[in-house]
């Protein structure tokens, strides 16, 4: 069996995916890479190599020298950052994907995981229970790059037999490492500020409803999709996957149940405009039917877990 390589291992998803892959395959079967030279403490046990996914040659050498057979490509610029760095976001998000897909096309690796996002939808898509297949006219650089990426994944599967698998992640909520540069990041930051300062100013308006998922569910979805048998998968672009959905006001009220003095203020910025174009919830029946997807965490369990885990980090630090 070949090794599992995570590109972008120091990010919000990467740090947790690495831990899960170690549990599933063993520490000697997992390789972490990131553009940042030093890995975060949580994953310091695993073999780590600094890597820029745009550096084809180093990527190829690593895959060969380490006997890699699966790549999880998580390196990307998220929606808010991408609006400020248009060309580099497009370049990283697209060229990074081609570099990995081409390794699979040439037979150097067997399987690829690449995350897409609810950001592939746009203002003209149905907002509630957005179908798997529907109008998708994204208006952000990030959304455009993810939609294009989905089309390329399907193309590589259809034309070259590349076994690439993908999920349209909702906003992801986690405590082990923080997200960076996304429109849904408020739903993580709110916990840190609530515990540090007792208040939070949301950059999304109080009634903006977005699809969200607790990280444990996201990692489990990733694992279940990657372990599903090829014959069961009917979507080779990217699967809708539901977790929960809520507004800033609703998560604020839930936090208040546990921290009664918590104050939530609103100061919407450009990220509010992005969020306005995204779905409120998605229809994930393809994921349910093809590989039995079912989320576990709802808003209540997410809020209590986040408060519990982040308060413990404060005590340790």
Stretch that binds ligand SER, among 54-62, 115-123, 218-226, 253-261 (CB under 6 A): 115-123
- Cβ closer to ligand SER: 11 or 171? 171
Which residue in 72, 142, 186, 239 is the catalytic one?
142
**Can you read off the two tokens belonging to residue 164?**
């690439």
Give the residues across from 210 on adjacent strands: 246
Q: Pick one of 169, 200, 239, 291: the residue that binds ligand SER (CB under 6 A).
A: 169
DSSP reduced 3-state for 266: strand
> By CB under 6 A, is residue 208 in contact with ligand SER?
no
Of 166 and 184, CB closest to ligand SER: 184
The answer to the question of residue 171 lying near ligand SER (CB under 6 A) is yes
277: its two tokens:
């174009």
Q: Residue for token digits 């992640």?
A: 169
Site string for ligand SER, 122-151 (x = CB under 6 A): --------------------x---------
Please work out, in degrees rounded to the nearest 5, the angle formed at the alpha carbon of residue 215 by the alpha carbons of 51 and 275.
90
Selected from 117, 145, 238, 240, the binder of ligand SER by CB under 6 A is: 117
Nearer to ligand SER, 101 or 118 (CB): 118
**Minimum distance from residue 143 beta carbon to ligand SER (Å):** 9
Q: Number of residues in contact with ligand SER, rule: CB under 6 A?
A: 11
Q: Quote the DSSP letter at residue 2.
A: P
Between residues 22 and 77, which has the closer beta carbon with respect to ligand SER?
77
Please, which residues have CB within 8 angstroms of residue 292's CB and are 6 or more apart in sequence? 224
**Number of helices (H), then strands (E), in the chain:** 11, 14
Smallest Cα–Cα separation from 169: which of 155, 151, 182, 186?
Answer: 182
For residue 146, give every residue at least 6 positions away whose Cβ sits within 8 Å of its Cβ, in sequence order, or none: 93, 116, 117, 119, 120, 138, 168, 238
200 is catalytic: no
Binding mask 241-280 for ligand SER (x = CB under 6 A): ----------------------------------------
Kindly provide the residue ranges of all beta strands, DSSP E only, lying in the chain, ordered along the sequence. 3-7, 30-34, 47-50, 68-73, 111-113, 116-117, 163-165, 167-169, 171-173, 199-202, 210-214, 239-240, 244-246, 263-266
The residue within the footprint of ligand SER, chosen from 9, 15, 33, 79 (CB under 6 A), is: 79
- Where along the sequence are the contacts to ligand SER (CB under 6 A)? 78-79, 117-119, 142, 169, 171, 182-184
């Amino acid at each position: 069996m070949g090794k599992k390589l995570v590109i972008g291992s120091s990010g919000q998803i990467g740090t947790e995916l690495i831990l899960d892959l170690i549990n599933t395959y063993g520490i000697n079967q997992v390789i972490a890479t990131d553009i940042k030279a030093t890995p975060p403490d949580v994953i310091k046990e695993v073999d780590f190599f600094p890597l820029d996914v745009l550096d084809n040659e180093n990527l190829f050498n690593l895959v060969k020298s380490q006997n890699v057979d699966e790549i999880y490509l998580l390196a990307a610029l998220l929606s808010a950052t991408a609006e400020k760095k248009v060309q580099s976001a497009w370049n990283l998000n697209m060229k990074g994907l081609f570099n990995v897909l081409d390794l699979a096309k040439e037979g150097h690796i067997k399987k690829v995981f690449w995350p897409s996002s609810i950001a592939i939808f746009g203002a003209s898509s149905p907002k509630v229970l957005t179908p798997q297949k529907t109008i998708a006219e994204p208006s952000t650089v990030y959304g455009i790059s993810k939609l294009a990426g989905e089309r390329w994944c399907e193309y590589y599967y259809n034309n070259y037999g590349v076994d690439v698998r993908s999920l349209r992640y909702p906003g992801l909520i986690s405590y082990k490492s923080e997200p960076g540069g996304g429109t849904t990041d408020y739903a993580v930051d709110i916990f840190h500020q609530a515990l540090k300062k007792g208040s939070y100013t949301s950059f999304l308006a109080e009634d903006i409803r977005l699809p969200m998922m607790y990280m444990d569910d996201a990692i489990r979805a990733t694992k279940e999709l990657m372990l599903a048998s090829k014959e069961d998968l009917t979507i080779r672009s990217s699967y809708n996957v539901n977790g929960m959905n809520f507004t800033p006001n609703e998560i604020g009220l839930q936090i208040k149940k546990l921290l009664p003095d918590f104050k939530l203020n609103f100061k919407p910025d450009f990220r509010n405009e992005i969020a306005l174009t995204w779905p409120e919830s998605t229809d994930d029946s393809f994921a349910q039917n093809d590989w039995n997807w079912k989320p576990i965490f709802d808003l209540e369990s997410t809020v209590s877990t986040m408060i519990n885990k982040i308060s413990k980090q404060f005590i340790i630090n």
